[in-house]
Chain A
Amino acid sequence: MIGQMFEGVPARALACGALLLAALLAAPYVVNDYLLTVLIIILYYAYTGQAWNIMMGFAGQLSLGHALYVGLGAYTAAAFYVHFGISPWIGILAAIPIAIAGGAIIGFLAFRFRVGGVYFAILTIAFAEFARVGFDHFNWVGGSSGFFLPVANYAVSDLWNLRGKPMMFYYLILAMTVLAFVICRLLLTSRIGYFWLAIREDEEAARAIGIDTFRYKMYAVILSAGMTSLAGIFFAFFYNNLFPEQVFHISRSIELILAPIIGGVGTLFGPILGAFLLTGLSETMHAILYGFGIDIPGVKQVFYGLCLLFVVIVLPHGVWPWVARVLGIKERRS
């Protein structure tokens, strides 16, 4: 397993990775609270981007409804905590199966009835919208007026109940991001990863060499949904409030996929780089504008749009493949 993790990775890439990890581990002791929050958001997008990438980047199935899995995870764990006082670590055991069930239903409908491409994407949007409308009327978790987790001023962090200071959340999301990266790397260098790539490249040819494409596409959806629901739990306990209109909204689904698209769809490091670029640059821009006393609503969205435009035109495979070339690291283009 460990051998598989590092096989064929150039020393330079390992050094860069180790350096980045060290910097991220040390960051909370160096940066202020504001920057720590920015880093948390970056890692959150890196994590969700990695999870989304399994479906799109590896198996070639475009989901534009990943907010569904974030929301299901968030609401499930939050409801268990608020109503029954059950720790989110236990809540995971319900949140993951529920999100997986959601993904499995979408996957089953789409793949059984040969709904592909754009139509599959529309189906994923539709289910996220169903959930949004449904949760608006789901009063047990607050309905449209929102669902709130109890907040206090915490002197010590309570990891078991995920109550505490940003630093705890930072290390939690960092651990999740690292784990997601490791999982994706292991997947890509195994049988299932190769089968996914084959399906992405040409589904009919994949079937002709014996790949049960239905089954492997289901694996991709299930894994992606399950991983994304963990981000939802993090989201709920970090922000402490959930509104269906925000959590399940399509703009959330779009935000989730920007990092891997900017960084490089189907690459391992793309989602991480993309998250740093997008959030990092937009926060920098926000700070500069704020410094000049300018506050324009919607400027972040315009900025995202411009970034996307730039990448699509200049670096259609994403920024990471280009950066990797410059650094002299060659990630197998997969």
Chain B
Amino acid sequence: MSALLSVQNVTKRFRGLLAVDNVSLDVAEGEIFAVIGPNGAGKTTLFNVIAGVYRPDQGQVAFAGHRLDGKTPDQVCRAGVGRTFQIVRPFPALSVEDNVVVGALLRHRGLRDAREWAHKILRRLDLFDKRHQPASELTLPDRKRLEVARAIATEPKLLLLDEVMAGLRPTETDRMVAALRRLNQEHGVTILLIEHVMRAVMALASRVMVLHHGAAIAQGRPDEVVRDPAVVQSYLGAEAVG
């Protein structure tokens, strides 16, 4: 198994707080990998280390054979890693279409090309009909999909999704799950997602890692992980197993 993304012994401290504690993971090309864990477990910090927002205190991040740690967020994106934000950050005054066009312009230098590419992505995420609306007028589910659309527009090999299901109703979650699965299967995008919504994790992920207090306490197939006593104890709660 050749790892597209390889995180090796990454540690990140904020002063006294050990946010990520010696975490390692490998994401294979074409895989959907989920990171779960209670609030404050260090999931988003781990994400931000991969995305170049933070430099790890120890450890390495490699992507497609190249070192990623020490790179800035824009360099990480240009290397082929797209990301979304936990709290969505669309460009509010721009139209839905222009939000995606900006992302598309990274690899399509001409505006016409970029717009064509953006239209394809907008269709893929069911946003095409709303393309002329300002992003600020979208509902939360639409904004979440726009966040994904904008990240995909940069044509990443690996997509980092930070709680894109949070705040969605079950039907909307299923819609997002379907969109992500299509993206993964038809377009070969590898996905690393942080998620609280177990329904989505179970439906999507081929492997799961559980973080607790910054450390990885379990890793494996989703059905194995949810039965792991340590995971049940720290995160899911006894009733989740039943």
How far is the CB of A288 from the nearest CB of chain B, in Å?
39
Closest to A215 in B: B74
**At the interface, yes or no: B40 with Cβ under 8 Å from chain A?**
no
| Residue A334 CB within 8 A of the other chain | yes
| A334-B93 in contact given A190-B111, A208-B83 (Cβ < 8 Å) | yes
The 0/1 profile, CB within 8 Å of A marked 1, for residues 91-107 of chain B is 11111001001110110
Given A195-B105, A201-B94, A205-B85, A189 and B111 touching (CB < 8 A)?
yes
User: Which B residues lie within 8 Å of A15 (CB)?
Assistant: none
Identify which of B15-23, B147-155, B203-211 touches chain A. B147-155
Output the nearest chain A residue to B135 by Cβ-Cβ distance. A201
Contacting pair A209 B154 (CB below 8 A): yes
Docked pose: A112 CA to B154 CA in angstroms: 25
A141 to B228, CA, bound (A): 80
Binary contact track A174-218/B, C-beta < 8 Å → 1, others 0 = 000000000000000111001101100110111111111100000
Smallest CB gap from A205: residue in B:
B89
- Given A201-B93, A202-B91, A205-B85, A191-B111 contact (CB < 8 Å): yes
Contact with A334, one of B72, B94, B105 (Cβ below 8 angstroms): B94
Residues of A within 8 A of B82 (CB): 208-209
Taking A191-B111, A195-B105 as contacts, is the C-beta distance between A207 and B74 under 8 angstroms?
Answer: yes
CB distance from A238 to the nearest CB of B (A): 37
| Residue pair A195, B102 in contact (C-beta under 8 Å) | yes
Interface of A is mostly: helix
A194-B93 contact, Cβ under 8 Å, with A189-B111, A207-B74, A208-B77: no
The verdict on B73 contacting chain A, using a C-beta distance below 8 Å, is yes
Which B residues touch A209, using CB under 8 A? 77, 82, 102-103, 106, 150-151, 153-154
CA distance A67 to B67 in the complex (A): 45
A325 at the binding interface (Cβ < 8 Å):
no
Chain B residues within an 8 Å CB radius of A334: 93-94
A47 to B88, CA, bound (A): 37
State whether A194 touches B101 (Cβ < 8 A): yes
Q: Is the CB of A191 within 8 A of B73?
A: no
Q: Is A83 part of the binding interface, using a Cβ–Cβ cutoff of 8 Å?
A: no
A residues less than 8 Å from B114 (CB atoms): 191
- Report how far A213 CA is from B92 CA in the complex, Å: 18
Q: Per a CB cutoff under 8 Å, which of A190, A197, A208 touches B94?
A: A197
| Chain A residues whose C-beta falls within 8 Å of the C-beta of B153 in the assembled complex | 209
In the assembled complex, which residues on chain B have CB atoms less than 8 Å from the CB atom of A191?
Answer: 105, 109, 111, 114
Residues of B within 8 A of A205 (CB): 85, 89-91, 150
B74's partner among A190, A194, A210 (CB-CB below 8 A) is A210
- Distance in angstroms from A265 CB to nearest chain B CB is 11
Q: In the complex, A206→B89 CA distance in Å?
A: 10
A159 vs B95: C-alpha distance in the bound complex, in angstroms? 45
The answer for the CA separation of A101 and B59 in the assembled complex, in Å, is 41
Chain B neighbourhood of A197, CB < 8 A: 91, 93-94, 98, 102
Distance between A202 CB and nearest chain B CB, rounded to angstroms: 5
By a CB distance below 8 angstroms, the chain A residues around B151 are 208-209
Q: A4-B111, A209-B106 are in contact. List 11 more A-B contacts (CB 8 A).
A: A189-B111, A191-B105, A194-B101, A194-B105, A197-B91, A197-B102, A198-B94, A205-B85, A209-B103, A210-B103, A211-B102
- Using a CB–CB distance below 8 Å, which chain B residues touch chain A? 51, 72-74, 77-78, 82-83, 85, 89-95, 98, 101-103, 105-106, 109, 111, 114, 134, 150-151, 153-154
Residues of A within 8 A of B (CB): 4, 189-191, 194-195, 197-198, 201-202, 204-213, 332-334
